[in-house]
Structure 1
């Protein structure tokens, strides 16, 4: 079987979440099939056991002609009718509900721009949901969400239902995973290496980028309180500059640096890695930490997210302190491998961090539990539904039913141009011009060009 895995994210030594996920999907499928991994941005993985390359639209069209199955992420099929109209088996990886993400990220685009950003993302996802033969999501909770959107588009119908009353053959849970082999330290990375962090200090690790849907500010306020009775505590942010050049610096990252400076934490108790840690080097940072932290805001994006950085914490047997409200926070509580706190609660966050730092026995027990859970979430295990599907891939039955297929094709052509493409850019530019004049319009336009190429998170060690 010829299978292509396509991503709009960077495929280099410094990969983020979508790129890591695409790489792992390709690696798992390459054990059984002829696989190519392609990206529409940057590719530089020369030692890959299968072809990895960057492609333009012409190259992507060649890949579509070559493959039997195309697994894709993000905005990849948008404005590419040769993919939407393909007769090949299309597998859409919708582990990131990017329209919910745009509710926060779009705040930087002005009011009109924000509305259009969400509508544009929704339209792009609807294209995928109307055409996809099989879908991957990150959790059971997220699966329920996607089933609602699929139902609204008519994809939950007598044909798909009679083919499989569970609808697992339409959409399966394939979360982010961890490597099968446990992490092995190859060098010191933080303790005794980063100026200001000693070999015996206690390190809190923020294991990825700082995006607008996260809440590093509450964490910094908690650190400011915690350092007064734990002067040995250090907070290390593992990545600021995203490896994908299309991802701009985010408002929350700027705010975090400013708050850290104002509280007098920068360089003494809070440390920011200005670049991005290489994928094959991240274990050295994880193994130099004592607690993994993930704090976010209380909103709908959180409810349906799957914080991939927390998986790295489990892989490294790190206790985790996280904001409650998402699927992984529920797992942390259920398995007692860390502590969860309410969003925005500085005192509760400080208390949770102090409790784990002050209790060596508790920290050790949480570490054992985290490592045990990691063995249940290895990439071969979580990717099993996709691997099984690709053994005998098939078109979705409703897309082959004449009574339904014509309607889906019509709906695809009716996705409103107003929410995407040139009309979107023009309307957004007009809003920026009205709000802040030519300079704001130019700055926002440049940011939009970078951001729309790849809008999503987490972007892994993120």
Structure 2
């Protein structure tokens, strides 16, 4: 048995987004393997039904976090944990970084609506944090072969690919391996959340589901236009956005743009319906099973290339054929395995044609059969196998000799992302670049969260 601490910045509660869902299922799987698991979140811990110990520790409260770090033998962490807790940076525990979300690339898109100086700061902070953890950890897990190639470049630049790490592990799987997002091995329980519940979503409706949040790197606008285009020819198409209010991320401008476009085109609340909250994780099956197809459309840019769209796993879980935009790893899977239709970016006409195809009963039956075959590869126990093997036999990286500062090319000082000095620095930054009103809003959000 190994004592495993899992650290996340996402809220763990009834309503969970991708990082928290990943932590929840990782913890359950490792505990099922006989390990003792504890989960620490730096936001909210609101699951009294958690079958493992679940606690919240404020970012920067290193005294509180250190008690958990000292308890653990293996520490698995996501996001900014290493920059928030100095004891994690210098820990002698076995450290595993989960970098399935390339946060510095995500921030290139997420920060577009911010003042330029703030955008620069956010991207630099994400990059510094990622580099610091890649220098220091014993094992790294990512979500796809595309990501693995990308992170191998990071590791090489940081000096982690060297004779010591290469000599007995020439494919470097002992340093960096795959751990995709997973799906529940148990089939979704029957239930209805849309048909006969949402006005206009009756038994005759053909329902498309957008199975996650609406963020600036996605392209919901082309999808809405495609639904309107099809609605001129047929009256049965419906599009449902499963969630627009992420439990841990501020609403982005694209949410309001999507509402406004649907209203302008006369389909908001009828043919296009937005759930303006966030569906509880345990309740999502009813929405998915009522749908005829899953959709995911995005713009083509760097974030797309290395993204791993976790909503696609829910489509696989529910047996849905899908329409996806080209450019990411899942588009390759959909195309190669015949799971649905892949369309070019920003192409309304192609989207409309693809929707028509996946809703055709004959084609849909073929896609569903292929989805049923492929989904078995992505159940949580299977995708977690590299981590399960590491936890069963934890070990330090071969280039760790008791000093994490000396690993790779030497890490220097990482960027602190918590504490009074960090708060003062960020307050001054936002005063200069966003004004007093923005600072007051951020203080109110901090006090209210």
With the length of structure 1 as denominator, give the TM-score of the two structures: 0.91
Q: Which residue of 1 is the match for residue 368 of structure 2? A: 367
Number of equivalent positions: 440
Q: Which residue of 1 is the match for residue 189 of structure 2? A: 184
Match of 1:302 among 301, 304, 307: 304
Contact 2:307/2:328 (8 A) holds in 1:
yes
Structure 2 Cα separation of the partners of residues 422 and 147 of structure 1? 36
Match of 2:115 among 91, 110, 118: 110
Q: Secondary structure at the match of 1:398?
A: coil
Q: Which residue of 2 is the match for residue 228 of structure 1? A: 232
Aligned pairs for 1:326-405 within 5 A: 326-357=328-359, 359-400=360-401
Q: Which residue of 2 is the match for residue 263 of structure 1? A: 265
Match of 1:69 among 69, 74, 84: 74
Match of 1:240 among 237, 244, 247: 244
Higher RCO (CA 8 Å, separation ≥ 6 residues): 1
Contact 1:316/1:371 (8 A) holds in 2:
no
Structure 2 Cα separation of the partners of residues 447 and 105 of structure 1? 22
Structure 1 Cα separation of the partners of residues 200 and 139 of structure 2? 50
Structure 2 Cα separation of the partners of residues 440 and 66 of structure 1? 40
Query: Which structure 2 residue ranges, 5 or more long, are not aligned?
Result: none
Q: Which residue of 2 is the match for residue 166 of structure 1? A: 171
Contact 2:226/2:349 (8 A) holds in 1:
yes
Structure 2 Cα separation of the partners of residues 407 and 6 of structure 1? 22
Contact 2:158/2:409 (8 A) holds in 1:
no
1:280 and 2:278 correspond: no
1:127 and 2:132 correspond: yes
Contact 2:405/2:412 (8 A) holds in 1:
no
Contact 2:179/2:386 (8 A) holds in 1:
yes
Q: Which residue of 1 is the match for residue 200 of structure 2? A: 196
Q: Deviations over 1:255-284 (max 9, x none)?
A: 111111111111110001111111111111
Structure 2 Cα separation of the partners of residues 91 and 365 of structure 1? 40
Q: What is the Cα deviation at residue 427 of structure 1?
A: 3.1
Distance 1:441 1:49, change over 3 A: closer
Deviation larger for 327-336 or 104-113 = 104-113
With the length of structure 2 as denominator, give the TM-score of the two structures: 0.93
Q: What is the Cα deviation at residue 55 of structure 1?
A: 2.5
Structure 2 Cα separation of the partners of residues 408 and 322 of structure 1? 39
Q: What is the Cα deviation at residue 440 of structure 1?
A: 5.0
Q: Which residue of 2 is the match for residue 207 of structure 1? A: 211
1:411 and 2:408 correspond: no
Distance 1:158 1:447, change over 3 A: farther
The ranges of structure 1 where at least 4 consecutive aligned residues each deviate by more than 6 angstroms after the TM superposition are 447-450
Query: Which structure 1 residue ranges, 5 or more long, are not aligned?
Result: 454-462
Contact 1:39/1:55 (8 A) holds in 2:
yes
Q: Which residue of 1 is the match for residue 24 of structure 2? A: 23
Contact 1:38/1:52 (8 A) holds in 2:
yes
Distance 1:129 1:253, change over 3 A: same
Structure 2 Cα separation of the partners of residues 348 and 409 of structure 1? 48
Contact 1:112/1:428 (8 A) holds in 2:
no
Q: Which residue of 1 is the match for residue 97 of structure 2? A: 92
Q: Deviations over 1:47-80 (max 9, x none)?
A: 2222122233333211101000001111122131
Q: What is the Cα deviation at residue 410 of structure 1?
A: 4.9
Structure 1 Cα separation of the partners of residues 142 and 106 of structure 2? 15
Distance 1:29 1:225, change over 3 A: same
Q: What is the Cα deviation at residue 431 of structure 1?
A: 2.1
